[in-house]
Chains A and B, each alone.
Chain A
Amino acid sequence: MEVSIALLATLSYFIGNAIDRCMGWQTFERPIVAGTLTGILLGDLETGILMGASLEAIFMGMSPIGGAIPADPFPTAVICVAYTIATGSKMGVAIGLSIPIGALMQTVKTLWAPVLASMSAYWEKLAKTGNVKKFRRLSILQSVFGDRLPIFFVLFFSIAFGTKGLQSLFAMLPDWVMRGFTAGAGMMTAIGFAILVNMIWDNKIGIFLVFGFVLAKYLKLPALPIAIIVATIAMVYFLVMSNTISDKNETIKTKPNAKNEDEEEDFF
């Protein structure tokens, strides 16, 4: 396939990524817009819009609750539209390819994750300097260029030279490398949580950590019900303790009154 198509498609991804990651919304990264933008850049608006709409419907159910998605809709939409426009094939063909392509993109992200994770110490140091404007500038650069860097390349190469070549490249990677990276990513989240817990830990209420864990693991409750249950318990604690305080305040207030009543009774 032509390199120019690959370049334009990658540009479409680049623009959409930059906009969304700086606005903090999710519009240009959704297939319905990404497909349209790719269509515009590749000169076939209608295909872009129609494919974008179909892909949006397909990916409707997949949303990053808690952070994990099976296939990334954004580069998938771009590649699908690019393929369809470039090869003139039926939309259905490209859509059929779309899910494995999306999964491939997730693999790329998994391999990139340790790099991003290793930068966390740098960001912390930068924050410590208190230089808000520098932090912001570098964050913008990171958002626009750094976070999805490998995707730019994979996207370009897969459109320019076909995903088959790319898939065989990934197939050459020994299985244990992928398993190792995936395992690493799954365990690294514990580091962030450990930092958090160390901040709010109190031996007396440490059990609540295990409580939340058990609710999620054994009862398989999602986050919101867990939050409600624990909030209720915390509310009980709060009510009991705050009543204790107001009771204490009241006894202090009533003591002088008691003295007055005794004097009055003696009078009679």
Chain B
Amino acid sequence: MSKINAHDKKVLKKMFWGSGLAFSGFNVVKMQGNGFTNTMGPALEDLFPDDAKSRGEALARANGVFNTNNTMFGLLGGLTYALEKDRVKNNNVTTDTIESLKVSLMGPTAAVGDSFIFNCLRVIIAGIAISIAKTGSIFGPLLFIVLFGGLELMIRWYLLVAGYQYGTTFIDKVFNSGLLKIITTASSMLGLSMVGAMVATTVNVPLSLSFKFGKETLKLSSIFDQIMPGLLSLILLFTIMYLMKKGFKPMTLVLGLLVVSIVLAFLGIF
């Protein structure tokens, strides 16, 4: 693992505080995009101190759709910093690789992070804090803040450093063996699958129209479900991808979808 000098550590510290803004401007289109932008900001200032255009291009990339557990911002931030640094200094990594790695890591880190932090760590600490608080002592809530909050921060910091260190080792290994294209493809496989899984669980086309035939009622949604459950969600995704390729801006699509949804709900189709 490469050592981290004092300069790098300063940047990492700034990134750490930036990652605190993980939930800023959270919206259904970009999710934690702003959070990652704030995390990468100090790194990009370090890499492009004078070139506002390149910095802006990279910053806008960091604003892309992002969703993971807050502590994992550290891991992904550190890793992306190492990759961007290599891209700038050695021209080894492409933006495609960085993006697909970022995307493919989002899903698994979210699953691991959320399960560990929320369902394991918080439950244990809350349990202790609750039993102390039930006696009326303020030490209960205080313990919760110090232990749970403290651990969340510590884990995020150590993951940040580890992501950065591991990132540079990873780059060295990959380029000495000519495996870049393979890794990019492999990580895109993972990335696409995770997005597919996320589409399955979060994109919902709530058809509620049903037809009555005498005693029987036929739900419109069940017709689609019998072909393939969630088919409409996939069709919606591909439709939007197509519209975007044709030049429609996300903003237009957001408003368009909202209007369509309200109209269809008014007509009773939703």
> Chain A interface (Cβ within 8 Å of chain B)?
21-28, 30, 32-33, 35-36, 45-46, 49-50, 52-53, 56-57, 60, 63-68, 113-114, 116-121, 123-124, 127-132, 135-136, 139-140, 142-143, 146-147, 176-177, 179-202, 205-206, 208-218, 221-224, 226-228, 230-231, 233-235, 237-238, 241-242, 245
A237 contacts B186, C-beta separation under 8 Å: yes
Q: In chain A, what residue has the closest Cβ to B144?
A: A32
Q: Mark B100-126, 1 if CB is under 8 A from A, else 0.
A: 100100011011101100110011001
B60, B67, B111, B203: the one within 8 Å of A186 (CB): B203
Q: In chain B, what residue has the closest Cβ to A63?
A: B118
With a cutoff of 8 Å between Cβ atoms, the chain B residues found around residue A24 in the complex are 19-23, 35, 70, 73, 152-153, 156
Instruction: A68 to B62: give the CA distance in the assembly, Å.
Output: 24
Instruction: A179 to B270: give the CA distance in the assembly, Å.
Output: 7
A196 contacts B65, C-beta separation under 8 Å: yes
B134, B236, B240, B261: the one within 8 Å of A184 (CB): B261
Chain A CB within 10 A, most for which of B24, B153, B191, B245: B24
Q: In chain B, what residue has the closest Cβ to A65?
A: B114
> Chain B interface (Cβ within 8 Å of chain A)?
18-31, 33-35, 37-38, 41-42, 44-45, 48, 52-57, 59-60, 62-65, 67, 70, 73, 96, 99-100, 103, 107-108, 110-112, 114-115, 118-119, 122-123, 126, 129-130, 133-134, 136-138, 140-141, 144-145, 148-149, 152-153, 156, 177-179, 182-183, 185-206, 208, 229-230, 233-234, 236-237, 240-241, 244-245, 249-251, 253-255, 257-258, 260-266, 268, 270
With a cutoff of 8 Å between Cβ atoms, the chain A residues found around residue B35 in the complex are 24
A193 contacts B251, C-beta separation under 8 Å: no
B193 contacts A22, C-beta separation under 8 Å: no
A26, A123, A132: the one within 8 Å of B41 (CB): A132
Instruction: A212 to B23: give the CA distance in the assembly, Å.
Output: 26
| A–B pairs, 17, beta carbons within 8 Å | A23-B20, A24-B70, A24-B153, A25-B148, A30-B144, A50-B136, A118-B255, A123-B37, A132-B44, A135-B59, A143-B25, A190-B233, A193-B195, A197-B192, A209-B196, A213-B233, A224-B115
B25, B44, B114, B185: the one within 8 Å of A202 (CB): B185
A-B pairs with the 9 shortest C-beta distances?
Answer: A212-B196, A212-B193, A130-B56, A180-B262, A180-B265, A216-B200, A184-B261, A24-B20, A132-B41
B20 contacts A211, C-beta separation under 8 Å: no
A25, A36, A116, A118: the one within 8 Å of B26 (CB): A116
B258 contacts A114, C-beta separation under 8 Å: yes
Chain B CB within 10 A, most for which of A65, A120, A123, A216: A120
Q: In chain B, what residue has the closest Cβ to A206?
A: B192
Instruction: A2 to B115: give the CA distance in the assembly, Å.
Output: 41
B188 contacts A191, C-beta separation under 8 Å: no
In the complex with contacts A139-B21, A212-B200, A32-B126 CB distance below 8 A: yes
With a cutoff of 8 Å between Cβ atoms, the chain A residues found around residue B28 in the complex are 113, 116-117, 185, 188-189, 191-192
Q: How far is the CB of A244 from chain B (nearest CB, A)?
A: 9
With a cutoff of 8 Å between Cβ atoms, the chain B residues found around residue A139 in the complex are 21, 24-25, 34, 37-38
A25, A28, A186, A230: the one within 8 Å of B206 (CB): A186
B119, B183, B194, B234: the one within 8 Å of A238 (CB): B183
A190 contacts B197, C-beta separation under 8 Å: no
B59 contacts A128, C-beta separation under 8 Å: yes
B206 contacts A120, C-beta separation under 8 Å: no
Q: Please name 5 further chain A to chain B contacts, defined as beta carbons within 8 Å, in addition to the given A192-B31, A213-B200, A230-B194, sorted by A numbering.
A: A26-B148, A27-B144, A139-B38, A189-B199, A194-B237
Q: In chain A, what residue has the closest Cβ to B16?
A: A24
With a cutoff of 8 Å between Cβ atoms, the chain B residues found around residue A186 in the complex are 202-206
B56, B57, B186, B240: the one within 8 Å of A191 (CB): B240
A193, A200, A221, A242: the one within 8 Å of B199 (CB): A193
A136 contacts B41, C-beta separation under 8 Å: yes
B111 contacts A224, C-beta separation under 8 Å: yes
Instruction: A241 to B178: give the CA distance in the assembly, Å.
Output: 11
Q: How far is the CB of B12 from chain A (nearest CB, A)?
A: 15
With a cutoff of 8 Å between Cβ atoms, the chain A residues found around residue B41 in the complex are 132, 135-136
A66 contacts B56, C-beta separation under 8 Å: no
A199 contacts B103, C-beta separation under 8 Å: yes
In the complex with contacts A25-B70, A140-B21, A200-B96 CB distance below 8 A: yes
Instruction: A212 to B153: give the CA distance in the assembly, Å.
Output: 32
In the complex with contacts A32-B140, A113-B28, A216-B200, A120-B241 CB distance below 8 A: no
B27 contacts A119, C-beta separation under 8 Å: yes
Chain A CB within 10 A, most for which of B25, B100, B130: B25
A190 contacts B240, C-beta separation under 8 Å: yes
B63, B111, B185: the one within 8 Å of A124 (CB): B63
In the complex with contacts A177-B265, A191-B240, A223-B194 CB distance below 8 A: yes
